[in-house]
Chain A
Amino acid sequence: MELVDVWNVLAVGLVRGGLYAQMALMLALVLGVMSIISMINGELYMIGAYVSYFAFTLFGLNPILSIACAAVATFLVGALIERGPLSMMRRRAGEDWYLNTFLLTVGLSFFLKNAAMLLWKPTYRGIRWYWEGTVSIGSIGISIDRLVALGIAALTIVALQLFLRNTRLGRAIRAVSQDERGAMLNGININTIYTISFGLACMLGGIAGGSMLSILPASPYMGTTPNNYAWLVVMLAGLGNISGAVVGGFIIGIVESVAFQFFGEGWPNVISFIILIIVLVIKPSGIFGTSVKGVWEQ
């Protein structure tokens, strides 16, 4: 393998990794704060892609604004889903609400996919590029779009971490994830924190969908694969470890890119899942598994 190929493989792997990391983060955040298993991650990613598509092509907004639209829209959709069906379920189901919400999100996922199918038909809606052209870094050329997508993923991840660590609201989110009663007794409205956290998680998916639009076009079922990857990465990293999820996302991205280079199409998936199985057999709690619940602690 030539050196050029190595860099190429790495570049492709990092871009994929950014997507997986964002998707895994989405899952880990909801799991860490609300202890629920959400199956609609992929659908928020899909909605993000559509919103950016329409913002960019129909309304002619610039790329950054188009992606920002996806962020805002998916935050709102997430907050509405939490305020509506999820919180209703929480109030009614009492202790059993974890399993019930899991089933509910599975149902919502079907609903959203089919709604997209009805509204927008199964055609792929993609764009050729946000920014035309490639940049050459050393000996390799990488399209600006890929570079920007990776940059946005990195920025989003860092911003989320800074937000959780250093702001009043971020601390409240971490407090709820670690001890709900303690949080409530300190004046934190847990329902509000749930809504905001769920919205933020959905926003991560939306940003991923929007920023990858020229690479992966919008279609009703586009979310299924990223959702599977979110799961794969989170299980690999270990539940309850957000930094682990980010690292795991990039590792899987690179592994797949390497696998593709060596074995060709079809294999990246297989190899990722083989790795997952091996890791779970050796260390069932995942590579970075922790026992204490929390979101993004030192």
Chain B
Amino acid sequence: MQIALSVQNVIKKFGDFTAVDNVSFEVPDGGFFSILGPSGCGKTTLLRMISGFIEPSAGRIEIRGRDMAGLSPNKRPVNLIFQNLALFPMMSVAENVAFGLQRRREKKEVIEQKVAEILARVGLPGFGEKKIHQLSGGQKQRVAIARCLVLEPAVLLLDEPLGALDLKLREQMKVELKKLQAQVGTTFVYITHDQSEALVMSDKVAVMNSGRFEQIDTPPNLYNNPKTPFVARFVGDNNTWSGRIIACTQEGPGEIVAEIETAEGERFRVRSTDRFAPGAGVDLFLRPESMLIEPDADIADLNRFQVVVKSILFDGANSRLLANPLTADTELLIALPQNRQYDYIQPGDKIAIGWHAQAGICFPKV
């Protein structure tokens, strides 16, 4: 498969401050690649280097195998959807979409036809004559996408395009965007700080933290096998529990199980990222949904302990219990399935919790 975009060891410095620090990745043609990271981690800076608005301090950016160094944004076969969309308010929808085609001096009939086609494709047929201020947020979103897609770029860059929309619309656009991308087959590079957007839409996600890529992986891998504590914390919810190593055992190729003791004196067996020396401090990451409430006594190989329920955080399908282990005040979030099985649980109750060694992961303490 052809590589649409290749970024190699790109660095961007603003004075002493390194905004993007040695980032490398490749996106195959037709791929949906997301960059997920907290605000200020350098996502926009990276995207602006790909689109040509800023030059990297070092490194190489190739699009379809062609080096982009020194090429201005209007000469690059990529288009950027801006964080605030940047639709031209002085033009109608059709003029906005036709803008790039006119710059290419395409024939008038061709332009008209392409504009009509792409507007139909993004679900806005017949909207050409409308003014930008007459559109709703979601419609503006689609116009911005149409305006870029009509140019058939090698790569479409999207800078948090759903950020300004309300929650319901965002959920809906998320699905639509993914469908649209599959239909048109354009390569998407999508940046966001919303993990759900990244996980739902992408083939591959890169997690970015203060200028660096922490991990590039498929969404399930990112969730299930985080490579760094940052990824474990940032992608999905996680409980952190500090403890120390008692022993590490190799249980198969690349599969290490550590026996740890938490500060409260609980002993667990848990998957480990490395063979740590006994006594080393570690952080144990445990997802709310990997803890089972009152597990059957005959399930083997479960880490078991007791907690006291502090409160019930009801949030529909995402409901949680807030609980403390018996002996300490470490706070744990435990998923509370809304299948009526656990309706009896009240704040103050003492309940048993069990989890499988493979469901947690431990990293060296930082």
Q: Report whether chain A binds chain B.
A: no
